[in-house]
Chain A
Amino acid sequence: MQQLFNFFIKNKTFVLFLLLFSYALSLTIQSHEYHRSKFINSSNQITGSVYGTFHGITQYFNLKQENQLLLEENSILKMMVFSHEDLDPFDSLLEFKYDLHPSLVYKNSYALPNNYLTLNKGRNDSIKEDFGVITSKGIVGIIDATSKNYSRVLSILNTNSRINVKLKKTNYFGILSWDGKSPEITQLKDVQDLVKLSIGDTIVTSGYSSTFPSNIPVGSIDSYRLNDTEDLYIIDVKLFNDMRNLEHVYIIENTDLNELRALNLSDE
């Protein structure tokens, strides 16, 4: 026993190094698995407020572009309202299936294989995990960790991200994932080879999951090829969103979620 202690005292530097290094490694390995990196994440008070402070400065840099985007979105919505004169969007009796919470992106990354965003809404704004995040142009990701005032989004530019999407024209569905290379291109897998594809076809969300409503735009087909066993397509999807430049996003809350969950539970 004495010798063991002596050994530790003699090599205390190495022991400390080994301890800290293996702890860091275990954190790394955890972060490569979906829904495991809960402990080390940027949606806590300190990091959130630091990002928030500096966001106050940097948000002016692309104000012009953001205004343009919001204006475009507004005009589309106005057009939709004008062409449905019988529908009054401010009618308080109207029940909406989805609640949208506008939010700001405090931190965004796209250069790593596993990217996350930090948003300025959290549990206090009734944001929960598994809510979807979109912009006016397309989808961004899914909330995967929340704190009181901040939340973290698992970006679609994350090799762990899996999102159910479909081809708008033919309704065939597949899984959208990312290979970690270009921040403009994601991969759609599991589409059968008998489906007719053409370059430029629109991909939208399928609505099979409770996270996203159906028919939210995702991207268009950039190129496609067959996989190794030649029965499924691998489709490169060019995203409508510019993931490198995100500022205003919407968090989608499915107000039927509890009902849906209860239904699924009673099925089992």
Chain B
Amino acid sequence: MNNNVLITVLSFIGLILLQVIICSNINFLGDLNPYVYVIFILLYPVTNNRLVFIFLSFLLGLSIDIFLDSGGIHAAACVAIAYIRPLFLKFSFGAAYDYQAIKFSNTDFIQRLIYFLMLIIIHHFILFSLVLFDENKIALIIEQALYSSIFTLIICLLLSSLFSKKEA
């Protein structure tokens, strides 16, 4: 149990640093950045205590906002996907979720891909709607959200397979 808390705290801090020091300065093709910190929300252990989880997600987003001077956009997007996460867990992993027995490292790759993709797209869509904050730029919002999503997805998949402990 203590081990889990330690891992959570370390990954929380590590992901914030990774995001603000490296990932927000990539600016691939002009303005594309991956938002890899969402992997914290994606891979947070499935628990009954959703209040703590939502609050942690909020803190994560807010920390990123403070570093990047972006108001509250990351916090809003994080809270939103943290709240709707169970829906997508159920959709992607089906029966396993009902028994609260998901170990992300043991899941099927395709299932994980679908789960990541959906939550990342929603996160990025909320994020860029708030960044641009203009209903006339809906095409630009979708375009930027989509491209960044692909970027984030690739890096999240790489990270998750890099740090997953295969339990034989």
Q: Which residue of B lies closest to A155 (CB)?
A: B69
Distance of B58 from chain A, by nearest CB (Å): 4
A14 contacts across to B, CB distance below 8 A: 83
The interface bits of chain A over 2-29 (1 if a CB of B lies within 8 angstroms of the residue's CB, else 0) are: 0000000000111011001101111111
Q: Which residue of B lies closest to A32 (CB)?
A: B133
The number of residue pairs between A and B whose CB atoms lie closer than 8 Å in the complex comes to: 103
Of A16, A31, A152, the residue contacting B70 (CB under 8 A) is A31
Q: Which residue of B lies closest to A13 (CB)?
A: B50
Distance of A108 from chain B, by nearest CB (Å): 8
Distance of B100 from chain A, by nearest CB (Å): 16
The size of the chain B interface, using a CB distance under 8 A, is 34
Q: Roughly how many angstroms separate A109 CA and B83 CA in the complex, as a whole number? A: 30
B17 contacts across to A, CB distance below 8 A: 50
Q: Roughly how many angstroms separate A114 CA and B31 CA in the complex, as a whole number? A: 13
In the complex, whether A81 has a CB less than 8 A from a CB of chain B is: no
In the complex, whether B146 has a CB less than 8 A from a CB of chain A is: no
Assign chain A's interface to a size class.
35 or more
Distance of A134 from chain B, by nearest CB (Å): 20
Distance of B158 from chain A, by nearest CB (Å): 22
Distance of A196 from chain B, by nearest CB (Å): 34
Asked if residues B61 and A28 are in contact (CB atoms below 8 Å), the reply is no
Distance of A44 from chain B, by nearest CB (Å): 7
- Which residues of A from 133 to 173 have beta carbons under 8 Å from B? 152
Q: Which residue of A lies closest to B49 (CB)?
A: A13
Asked if residues B133 and A28 are in contact (CB atoms below 8 Å), the reply is yes
- Which residues of A from 35 to 53 have beta carbons under 8 Å from B? 37, 40-42, 44, 47, 50-51
Of A20, A109, A111, A116, the residue contacting B55 (CB under 8 A) is A20
Q: Roughly how many angstroms separate A12 CA and B55 CA in the complex, as a whole number? A: 12
A40-B66 contact in complex given A21-B76, A25-B72, A27-B72, C-beta closer than 8 Å: yes
Asked if residues A24 and B131 are in contact (CB atoms below 8 Å), the reply is no
Q: Roughly how many angstroms separate A42 CA and B82 CA in the complex, as a whole number? A: 25
In the complex, whether B67 has a CB less than 8 A from a CB of chain A is: yes
Asked if residues A24 and B27 are in contact (CB atoms below 8 Å), the reply is no
In the complex, whether A112 has a CB less than 8 A from a CB of chain B is: yes
Asked if residues A47 and B67 are in contact (CB atoms below 8 Å), the reply is yes
In the complex, whether B75 has a CB less than 8 A from a CB of chain A is: yes
Distance of B82 from chain A, by nearest CB (Å): 8
A40-B30 contact in complex given A20-B58, A21-B80, A112-B131, C-beta closer than 8 Å: no
Asked if residues A20 and B75 are in contact (CB atoms below 8 Å), the reply is yes
A25 contacts across to B, CB distance below 8 A: 72, 76, 130
Given contact pairs A109-B68, A114-B69, enumerate 16 new A-B contacts (beta carbons under 8 Å).
A13-B51, A16-B55, A20-B79, A21-B80, A23-B75, A24-B72, A24-B79, A27-B71, A30-B71, A37-B69, A40-B71, A41-B66, A42-B67, A47-B66, A50-B17, A114-B71
What are 6 inter-chain pairs, A to B, with CB distance below 8 A? A21-B83, A24-B76, A27-B65, A31-B72, A40-B66, A111-B30
By Cβ-Cβ distance, the 7 closest A-B pairs, closest first, are A31-B71, A27-B72, A24-B76, A111-B31, A24-B72, A24-B75, A116-B69
Tell me the A residues contacting B by CB distance below 8 Å.
12-14, 16-17, 20-21, 23-32, 37, 40-42, 44, 47, 50-51, 54, 107, 109-116, 118, 152, 180, 244
